[in-house]
A = this chain, B = another copy of it.
């Protein structure tokens, strides 16, 4: 475990009260903050709520090939047997696939899309790299939910991410509606760190990625935060984009509809916030869950015609 100063202790033997956030929410400062691409209204909303929702950010035409490639992957037996693929505890169907940007050039390029990367660099106030990428799938009538949690709590405790200086970009590969298990968030919950009770066992991720039992915030804190900030579930067509701060509490319910729900997540971390040893776990998690080797800054890359001639590196 890390012997560095731990600002956010968790996985404790006994209850400890919530800790105020010790880090900025928007990390770019002064001139860098004002340069955009997000304007002050958007930045203030991100500071207040912990997320930004862009309905129909990409067109369906652009998104469709990603969903198609994902369906093709599901037929790749060797991939499906690998550790990177997590199956549903109830149905056995695909629940998550990790390391999407290593598996597919198409997904890799998308992580470097200038529209996303510009916003992410501004929010994190530095160059960025991919800490983790994944697809979370919920088949019709089958996908289980995800209980309330802070991603940062796990990345700090189990991966050794020192500070709250990461953001997830979640791109909807299918429509997200009221009935297919959309992501729910508690606005404002990113401003507190909830220490969790319960020590991390060895190889915890093998169980936690199916159903999280360790690193679960207590119901009293959840209730208080939800009473204060409410609960929101952004909904919209395939191609919609959610940027959410690494410490905002989120969850999702079961998919009780016939409509599949497939969301892509790219977790961007600041190059000034690379991983230390785990703060509260007996061992590191695998590279595909928390990158330590591939941490060079991402360079922009545009696959689509909209930005040609605007100084963005052209398609190779």
Instruction: Decide if A184 is an interface residue (CB 8 Å cutoff).
Output: yes
Instruction: Decide if A78 is an interface residue (CB 8 Å cutoff).
Output: no
The size of the chain A interface, using a CB distance under 8 A, is 21
**Whole-angstrom CA separation of A184 from B257 in the bound complex:** 10
**Whole-angstrom CA separation of A257 from B231 in the bound complex:** 8
Residues from 26 to 76 in A contacting B, C-beta threshold 8 Å: none
* Complex contact B219–A148 (CB within 8 A): no
Q: Which of B179, B184, B258 contacts A227 (CB 8 A)?
A: B258
Instruction: Decide if A256 is an interface residue (CB 8 Å cutoff).
Output: yes
* Complex contact A258–B145 (CB within 8 A): no
Copies of this chain, count: 2
CB distance from A138 to the nearest CB of B (A): 12
* Complex contact A222–B253 (CB within 8 A): no
* Complex interface bits, A197-236 against B, C-beta within 8 A gives 1, otherwise 0: 0000000000000000000000100110011000101000
CB distance from A182 to the nearest CB of B (A): 10
**Whole-angstrom CA separation of A130 from B147 in the bound complex:** 38
For A146, the closest partner residue in chain B by CB is: B256
Q: Answer whether A256 and B141 are a contact pair too, CB < 8 Å, given A179-B231, A233-B178.
A: no
Name the B residues within 8 Å of A141 (CB-CB). 148, 219, 222-223
User: Which A positions have Cβ atoms within 8 angstroms of B?
Assistant: 140-141, 145, 147-148, 178-179, 184, 219, 222-223, 226-227, 231, 233, 251, 253-254, 256-258
A to B CB contacts below 8 Å, 14 in the list:
A141-B148, A141-B219, A141-B222, A141-B223, A147-B256, A178-B178, A178-B233, A179-B184, A179-B231, A179-B233, A184-B256, A231-B257, A253-B253, A253-B254
Q: Which 4 A-B pairs have the closest CB atoms?
A: A223-B258, A179-B231, A253-B253, A226-B258
